[in-house]
């Protein structure tokens, strides 16, 4: 069934996107996003996590939790317990995802899981709407919205709204995360530029600097080729030289150099 939004809902979503783009830190993004989303996607509790991975395990940074004034999300159990959740599988995908937990789980298996028994059930939570954010093979973060069983599951419209917001959250989070890992903002242009020390250390050419900068800002390979007026083979040659100079094998390794 097709999902339609009212003029009021569309206008509000535009305002949320505007607020997202004004955020200058992950904690600010988490706070603004969850407080704004609650108006159009009601929830009992919510959390946002910046996510990285090491040795096939996820590392949680800057956890942010939202809920009723007299309640808190039991973050210590979730973050420190290393519970295997459905969103882990989505985080391994090469793209961002939005999903309802009930669309991907067996209810009997879920109710017998440690995550449900030790984290959800004590807090009377049951349903979840979650989003994982990945860009250029870099794991960025996730958000989860949670409801009690009596509240009912998240609707198709609410799923659709989160899908609309997904690409904007992903791009903003990518820029915040790459900046956190060492990229410097160019005050005269949008996005980020490669630090001059990095260029000197690896003896990058001007063209290689341009390519890395565009990759960093999330521009797809064909668009880079069009913008620089180079062929695919020439582009691939530059990429090969970049990897050789930096001692990396792929974009994940290249961007990993900037981690602080």
Q: What is the pLDDT of residues 90-121, one digit of tens each?
A: 777 888 999 998 888 888 888 888 888 888 88
Rounded average pLDDT over 40-68: 79
Q: How far is CA 107 from CA 90, 99, 101, 139, 212, in A?
A: 19, 16, 10, 28, 45
Which tokens sit at 25?
A: 């830190």
pLDDT digits (tens, 9 = 90+) for 9-29: 888 999 999 898 888 888 889
Q: What is the pLDDT of residue 77?
A: 59
Confidence class of residue 79 from pLDDT cuts 50, 70 and 90? low
- Is residue 1 included in any domain, yes or no? no
Is the separation of the CB atoms in 178 and 254 below 8 Å?
no
Say which residues have a Cβ less than 8 Å from residue 157's Cβ, sequence separation at least 6: 3, 5
pLDDT digits (tens, 9 = 90+) for 225-252: 887 888 888 999 999 999 898 888 877 7
Taking 50 as the threshold, does the pLDDT of residue 182 lie above it? no
Q: What is the pLDDT of residue 111?
A: 87
Residues 79 and 198 in one domain: no
State the DSSP code for 44: S
Higher pLDDT, 231 or 259: 231
- Is residue 110 included in any domain, yes or no? yes
Rounded to whole angstroms, the Cα distance separating 246 from 71 reads 49
CATH number of the domain residue 214 falls in: 1.10.10.10
Is the separation of the CB atoms in 182 and 195 below 8 Å?
yes
Write out the residue range of the structural domain in which residue 232 sits: 184-256
Provide the percentage of residues in the chain whose pLDDT is more than 90: 26
Which tokens sit at 19?
A: 């607020």
Mark residue 82 as left, alpha or beta (left: phi above 0; alpha: psi -120 to 50; beta: remaining).
left
Rounded to whole angstroms, the Cα distance separating 204 from 117 reads 53
Rounded to whole angstroms, the Cα distance separating 180 from 21 reads 16
Helix then strand count (H, E) for the chain reads 12, 7
CATH number of the domain residue 109 falls in: 3.30.450.40
- Is residue 51 included in any domain, yes or no? yes
- Is residue 40 included in any domain, yes or no? yes
């Amino acid at each position: 069934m097709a999902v339609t939004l009212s003029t009021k809902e569309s206008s509000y979503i535009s305002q949320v996107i505007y607020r997202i783009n004004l955020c200058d830190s992950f904690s600010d993004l988490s706070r603004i996003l969850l407080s704004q989303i609650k108006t159009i996607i009601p929830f009992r509790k919510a959390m946002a996590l910046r996510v990285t991975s090491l040795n096939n395990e996820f590392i949680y940074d800057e956890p942010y939790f939202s809920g009723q004034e007299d309640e808190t999300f039991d973050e210590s159990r979730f973050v420190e317990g290393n519970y295997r959740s459905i969103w882990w599988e989505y985080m391994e995908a090469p793209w961002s995802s939005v999903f309802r937990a009930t669309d991907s789980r067996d209810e009997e298996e879920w109710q017998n899981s440690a995550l449900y028994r030790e984290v959800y059930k004590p807090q009377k939570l049951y349903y979840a709407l979650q989003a994982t954010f990945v860009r250029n093979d870099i794991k960025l973060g996730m958000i989860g919205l949670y409801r009690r069983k009596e509240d009912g599951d998240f609707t198709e419209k609410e799923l659709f709204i989160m899908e609309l917001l997904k690409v904007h959250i992903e791009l903003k989070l990518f820029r915040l995360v790459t900046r956190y890992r060492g990229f410097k903002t160019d005050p005269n242009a949008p996005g980020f530029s490669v630090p001059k020390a990095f260029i000197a250390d690896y003896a990058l050419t001007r063209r290689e600097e341009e390519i890395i900068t565009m990759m960093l800002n999330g521009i797809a390979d064909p668009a880079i080729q069009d913008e620089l007026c180079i062929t695919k083979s020439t582009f691939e040659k530059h990429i090969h030289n970049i990897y050789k100079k930096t001692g990396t094998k792929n974009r994940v390794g290249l961007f990993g150099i900037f981690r602080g």
